Structure 1
Amino acid sequence: MISSILPTYNRAPLSFVSGEGSWLEAKDGRRFLDMGAGIAVNALGHANPDLVAALTQQAGKIWHLSNLYEIPEQTALADALVANTFADTVFFTNSGTEACELAVKMVRKYWFDKGQPERIKILTFSGAFHGRSSAAIAAVGTEKMTKGFGPLLPGFEQLEFGDHDALTKAMQDPTVAAVIIEPVQGEGGIRTVPDQCLKGLRDLCDETGALLVADEVQCGVGRTGKLFAHEWSGISPDIMMVAKGIGGGFPLGAVLATETAASGMVAGTHGSTYGGNPLGCAVGLKVLQTIAEPAFLDEVNRKAGLLRQKLEGLVAAHPDVFEEVRGSGLMLGLKTKPGAAKVVQAGYDAGIMVVPAAQEVVRLLPALNITDEDINEALARLDQAARAVAAA
């Protein structure tokens, strides 16, 4: 008999009743150090008092307003995002998947309005993950994501990650409308696009007119030590997809764009019932105000250096379990030898939560305000997990 919850997840047999900071307490009383943060969502930890206050204060006023009306909280967050990024305008969604849908629509409407409706092709890269909607799975194109869900939305071409020659050749196609890229791939195994490659991609887009779309759903909002990961390369995208960390745990996403890239999206071309609701925007504004502070980002980078140094030591101590450390900031991965699933399970036994990814990598995506003490505790528990895997 099917369960009351559609069985699309292979869930761990863990159920949590409370959380605080980087810690979760299970129903049986066990405490777990959460180094996954809900897959980079709980950017300021569990039950953050500032976010709780922002949410409850707004909840006492207005929960929901249709986008038929002005929403002051939405305007405040949009203004803050514009002030802190390349963007001129923002559309709020509830998730990264919805952000991807709008980004695709925005790209194609841009070229349609420019009188070049044939420019519909969007280039993407192997290992990418942009969500599970029809457009997002077509963008990725892997059998794992698309099998059984055809016919797929046309107009996407997948290129091999890091194949510069293939990219240069593909960009010469006059039907190319845009390129979508994650500055750091999350689901793909914590693979960072080198700064020079992002600069080269920006140059190719400028030469051909193609729009550059950055998917910063997982790597954005302070995760790499800059407010957004593309900033490390000194380039700016035309469109950016944001979600996860921006809501600090509240479902919130956004598409940020330049005025030019967004020029086709006029009244009636897109909408959302819940996107930009007062609750989400009130929490999102507090998240952004906290993380965008230079002192906060300085601390992210300091903690990232500390964590990476300790992880390098862990790899050296357990060469039979780990191969290397990957990533940037507090978006780090451990490439495993016996398999990510074994390390994740051993982590549960040791009271630490990490997240599996492709290429047998386990992700460490802790709260950006994790303490030094919790970093030290995380390494002790990862060491315990590694020893258990080695002994199995």
Structure 2
Amino acid sequence: MRQSKIWKKATTSLSLILLSGGIALGGNYLINSPQSFAQNSDSETVTNQKNSTTEVTKTAVNLPQNYVSDVVNKVGDSVVRIDASRKVSTNVPAMFDDPFFRQFFGSQMPDIPNEQIQRGMGSGFVVSSDGLILTNAHVVEGSDEVKVTLKDGRSYEGKVMGTDPLTDVGVIKIEAEDLPEVAFADSEQLQPGEYAIAIGNPLGLDNTVTTGIVSATGRSSSQVGIADKRVSFIQTDAAINPGNSGGPLLNANGQVIGINTAIIQGAQGIGFAIPIDAARDIAEELIAKGKVDHPYLGIQMTAITPELKDQLKANNEKWQLTEDEGIVIVNVVPDSPADKAGLQAGDVIQKIDDEAVSKAEEIQQAVRQTKVGNELPLQITRDGKQVNLEVEVGVLPVPQTAKR
């Protein structure tokens, strides 16, 4: 697998402060396979007048090398612990600072500081020998201080080069040289059933190793229950706990296939990771310019179902559906690329870039793969007639609360 040149380039050009987090999987997997078994034959049996004795040739059982240990020895030194802290306002009620109340209540008034230190912990992994570290955005975003600790105990101040909340990817830089870096797999080729190994710091337990398999690939953010993210996830049955976020998910060869990032509350044996191919693309943008421009159309949509058609009919909506398949546009954001291209609520998308679509996720994927400024061809039906449109993909607006 190629190592992106940009890992080597970016060293000190950007100075934003970033943290990283990690995730680990639970349960080491050990394979024991006897190579041979004890055997006996007629020639090995000796009988005398009083008793008979069977002489058995004993062969030692050979155990194959534990592949999990190989991976840990190969990658363990590349996994780091991230400790992040930031100051947060305590929003003390104004009456607590009012001299009138303090005059009468004095020592009975609670002494609440205006700011408190909020601390977080996670994992990350080294992607270039000169100190670039990949992690989750939520581990380090908004942090005032980031501390990166290597497996051998050395600690460094980390600088956040950029975070992307929509994919939960972050990049940190530490001033170090000759660090052991990870190797990457092609996550596009990942198949359910493959072995998965994670190394991280769950619940503060450093260098925890857990194992499992890849349960599924291509899980949408809506399926995972975090609809604000714009990435498809790898699903694994490995155990994920707080502190694992940002750590690597590895294959049996010790190559990174994903960044562990999420769990479903109350679930057992279900965790999720960001595919490493997508994470590397995001990381390269963060290194280059400190932010990511996400492609954007500006529509709300849903797949056509019999239930949806019945609901529209019952509610006497101004438009009705005659199509049985496709993706119906429910709403168009004003002044968005879709609005400027002439898309309307009630339009049914049949094809996108000449590919038939039946799921909203297919359209989201096509938009994500289109560069900002490029045109995306759409084939729609409107009032029973086929219409071909081209939408110039725009940049997803950054919410006011998410601006850096």
Considering Cα pairs closer than 8 Å and 6+ residues apart, tell me whether 1 or 2 has the greater RCO: 1
Which of 1 and 2 has greater Rg? 2
TM-score range, shorter chain: under 0.3
Larger fraction in helix: 1
Q: What TM-score do the two structures reach when normalised by structure 1?
A: 0.24
